[in-house]
């Protein structure tokens, strides 16, 4: 009897494995591969890929390199990136029957930590000095469902890396992309955007943190960012599109804890059902290199085809507001400040409870003010704020001017506004 049970269990396990293996090799996960195209399709083009040392970024880099591109790998860990670059060149050499480095494509490793605005700025400064052109920017790097952590600048990690770091990166490189036009920006989002919301009152998850919601919110932010950027880039010959890659077997799940004993099963299931990185990277490669999407902008793709978005990912006013807030966050952000006794008196109980210690600012007006213009008066404004403490927000007090407002109505405004508002 016992023998029969063991035999049945073994048979079931074998059958299950065979079924999974059959799925692995027959499933329709692999949409058409972009890799069969002309080997010099990207010759003369410079492509920057963030997070190119692993998963989808690595596979995208390999393929674009194969197509002849000069690929810049923007990675946070130089040694991991150099190791990946060495492997890529070797694989390319082996595949092409050539010596590594002998192919037309070129691979460059540069340090870029999207969890540090200082690192993003330093990276861009170097890139702008060294690179005469940039044809494709692929915002690929990402963090998935990590425990509550903050970036160097005090942002919740998933929002900070997946959205804000890329927001700054893209804005700093826009000039070069425009001067290299026709050029492309490709944003890697996720279908999980559906479960996110842009809750402006707690963008930094100070009040509560849910790792799934925050990942989804950051991916929704990727889509809204793409929509708003496409609008701003109309007529510039720089396109921007966003994609979801499907579920792909990469290192993205590193923060998901799986009990040791269950790991083999999860590995088997992910092996059978998930896409390989090369399969998952096809839409990135397509949007970066295919002539089919020349001039196409502001669209959402999966499996190399345009897909529909939920209304919340197409809301122009939310996209604009997110842009404005992000712009101010990256310029001003670190007005790291604990409320002084004086400023505490200006808070209601709810505000005090939120322990407001940095300014989440937003543009009150829809007037477009460049970061440079903003920076010119941001510091005097912050200075005024520090002296006078938070003031009630004089909503639209000075038409055409910009005010910084904390989420709960506490404001740091241009000095004139503060003066006019003094009690
Ligand atoms: N895999 C999937 O099923 C899906 C993935 N995506 C998206 O695809 C993108 C790529 O992820 P995937 O390849 O799967 O995951 P991987 O974890 O394999 O790759 C993520 C890359 O992002 C890099 N990265 C993480 N944090 C930072 C940072 N602070 N600065 C710079 N680079 C950083 C990682 O660097 P390091 O190796 O040093 O950690 C790594 O190179 C992500 O945006 C993800 O959200 C979307 C939907 C599904
Ligand atoms: C989620 C689980 C795993 C791994 C998932 C990976 C590698 C990526 C998933 C990414 C998704 C869904 C991103 C969406 O944007 C394991 C296979 C490690 C274990 C099971 C759970």
pLDDT in tens, 32-69: 566 556 778 899 999 999 999 999 999 999 999 999 99
Q: Which atom of ligand 2 is nearest to the CA of 191?
A: 15
Q: In which residue are the tokens 């005024």 written?
A: 384
Look at the alpha carbons of 346, 348, 352, 354 in this order and tell me if their dihedral is positive or negative.
negative
Residue among 320, 329, 331 at smallest CA distance from 359:
329
Cα 224 to Cα 384: distance, rounded to the nearest angstrom: 33
Ligand nearest to the CA of residue 265, numbered in listed order: 2
pLDDT(101) > 80: no
pLDDT(335) > 80: no
> Distance, CA 86 to ligand 1 centroid (Å)?
19
Q: Known catalytic residues?
A: 215
Q: Which atom of ligand 1 is nearest to the CA of 51?
A: 41
Q: What is the pLDDT of residue 86?
A: 96
Q: Which atom of ligand 2 is nearest to the CA of 254?
A: 18
Ligand nearest to the CA of residue 267, numbered in listed order: 2
Cα 53 to Cα 411: distance, rounded to the nearest angstrom: 42
Q: Are 134 and 180 in contact (CB under 8 A)?
A: yes
Q: What is the pLDDT of residue 104?
A: 63
Ligand nearest to the CA of residue 193, numbered in listed order: 2
Our answer on whether the CB atom of 305 is closer than 6 Å to any ligand 1 atom is no
Percentage of the chain with pLDDT > 70?
68
* Element (DSSP H or E) covering residue 240: strand 238-244
Cα 133 to Cα 31: distance, rounded to the nearest angstrom: 31
pLDDT(246) > 50: yes
Average pLDDT rounded to a whole number, residues 337-360: 31
Cα 66 to Cα 161: distance, rounded to the nearest angstrom: 28
> Distance, CA 96 to ligand 1 centroid (Å)?
28
In order of 32, 72, 113, 139, 414, the CA distances from 62 in angstroms are: 17, 11, 21, 16, 49
> Distance, CA 204 to ligand 1 centroid (Å)?
20
Our answer on whether the CB atom of 247 is closer than 6 Å to any ligand 1 atom is yes
Q: Whose CA is nearest to atom 20 of ligand 2?
A: 266
Average pLDDT rounded to a whole number, residues 147-162: 95
In order of 9, 10, 17, the CA distances from 6 in angstroms are: 5, 6, 16
pLDDT(388) > 60: no
* Cβ atoms within 10 Å of 121's Cβ, excluding its own: 14
Give the max Cα distance, the chain: 90
Q: Are 288 and 183 in contact (CB under 8 A)?
A: no
Q: Is-cis flag, bond preceding 78, omega within 30?
A: no
Q: Are 253 and 190 in contact (CB under 8 A)?
A: no
pLDDT(390) > 90: no
pLDDT(369) > 60: no
Residues in Cβ contact with 172 at an 8 Å cutoff, skipping those fewer than 6 apart? 120, 121, 124, 128
Asked which of 1-15, 70-84, 183-197, 273-287 is least confident by mean pLDDT, the reply is: 1-15
Q: DSSP assignment of 313-363, as one string?
A: GS-HHHHHHHHHHHHHHHHH-----PPPHHHHHTS-HHHHHTT--S-----
> Distance, CA 161 to ligand 1 centroid (Å)?
10
Our answer on whether the CB atom of 188 is closer than 6 Å to any ligand 1 atom is yes
* Sheet of 391-392, strands arranged across: 391-392, 410-412, 404-405
Lookup: tokens for 20: 């999974």
Average pLDDT rounded to a whole number, residues 322-337: 67
Cα 389 to Cα 137: distance, rounded to the nearest angstrom: 41
In order of 15, 77, 234, the CA distances from 227 in angstroms are: 47, 31, 11
Main-chain phi, psi angles of 397, to 5 degrees: -65, -45
Average pLDDT rounded to a whole number, residues 264-289: 92
Look at the alpha carbons of 8, 12, 18, 19 in this order and tell me if their dihedral is positive or negative.
positive
Average pLDDT rounded to a whole number, residues 393-411: 34
Cα-only R_g, the chain: 24
Residue among 298, 239, 249 at smallest CA distance from 276:
249
Q: Whose CA is nearest to atom 32 of ligand 1?
A: 51
Average pLDDT rounded to a whole number, residues 153-182: 96
Q: Which atom of ligand 1 is nearest to the CA of 56?
A: 13
Average pLDDT rounded to a whole number, residues 318-326: 93
- Better pLDDT: 7 or 400: 7
Q: What is the pLDDT of residue 258?
A: 83
pTM summary value: 0.79
**What DSSP state is assigned to residue 218?**
H
Q: What is the pLDDT of residue 341?
A: 37
Lookup: tokens for 284: 């990135």
């Amino acid at each position: 009897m016992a023998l029969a049970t063991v035999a049945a269990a073994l048979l079931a396990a074998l059958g299950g494995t065979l079924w999974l293996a059959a799925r692995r090799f027959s499933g329709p996960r692999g949409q058409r591969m972009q890799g069969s195209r002309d080997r010099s399709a990207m010759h003369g083009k410079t492509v920057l890929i963030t997070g190119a040392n692993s998963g989808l970024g690595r596979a995208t880099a390999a393929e674009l390199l194969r197509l002849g591109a000069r690929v810049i790998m923007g990675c946070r860990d130089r040694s991991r990136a150099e190791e990946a670059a060495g492997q890529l060149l070797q694989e390319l050499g082996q595949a092409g029957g050539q010596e590594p480095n002998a192919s037309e494509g070129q691979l460059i490793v540069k340090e870029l930590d999207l969890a540090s605005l200082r690192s993003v700025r330093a990276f861009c400064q170097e890139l702008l000095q060294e690179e005469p052109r940039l044809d494709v920017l692929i915002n690929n790097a990402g963090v998935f469902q990590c425990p509550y952590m903050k970036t160097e600048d005090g942002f919740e990690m998933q929002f900070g890396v997946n959205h804000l770091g890329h927001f700054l990166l893209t804005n700093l490189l826009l000039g070069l992309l425009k001067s290299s036009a026709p050029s492309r920006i490709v944003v890697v989002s996720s279908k999980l955007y559906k479960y996110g919301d842009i809750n402006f009152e707690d963008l930094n998850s100070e009040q509560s943190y849910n790792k799934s919601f925050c990942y989804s919110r950051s991916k929704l932010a990727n889509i809204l960012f793409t929509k708003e950027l496409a609008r701003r880039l109309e007529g510039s010959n720089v396109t921007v599109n966003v994609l979801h890659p499907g579920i792909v077997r990469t290192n993205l799940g590193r923060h998901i804890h799986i009990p040791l004993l269950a790991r083999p099963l999860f590995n088997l299931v992910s092996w059978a059902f998930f896409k390989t990185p090369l399969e998952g990277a096809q839409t990135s490669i397509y949007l970066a290199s295919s002539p089919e999407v020349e001039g196409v902008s502001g669209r959402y793709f999966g499996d190399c085809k345009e897909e529909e978005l939920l209304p919340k990912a197409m809301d122009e006013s939310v996209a604009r507001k997110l842009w404005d807030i992000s712009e101010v966050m990256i310029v001003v952000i670190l007005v790291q400040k604990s409320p002084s006794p004086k400023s505490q008196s200006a808070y209601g109980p709810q505000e005090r409870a939120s322990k407001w210690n940095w300014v989440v600012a937003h543009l009150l007006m829809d007037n477009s003010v460049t970061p440079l213009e903003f920076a010119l008066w941001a510091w005097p404004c912050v200075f005024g704020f520090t002296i006078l403490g938070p003031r009630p927000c004089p909503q639209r007090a000075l038409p055409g001017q910009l005010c910084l407002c904390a989420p709960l109505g506490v404001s740091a405004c241009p000095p004139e506004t503060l003066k006019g508002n003094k009690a």
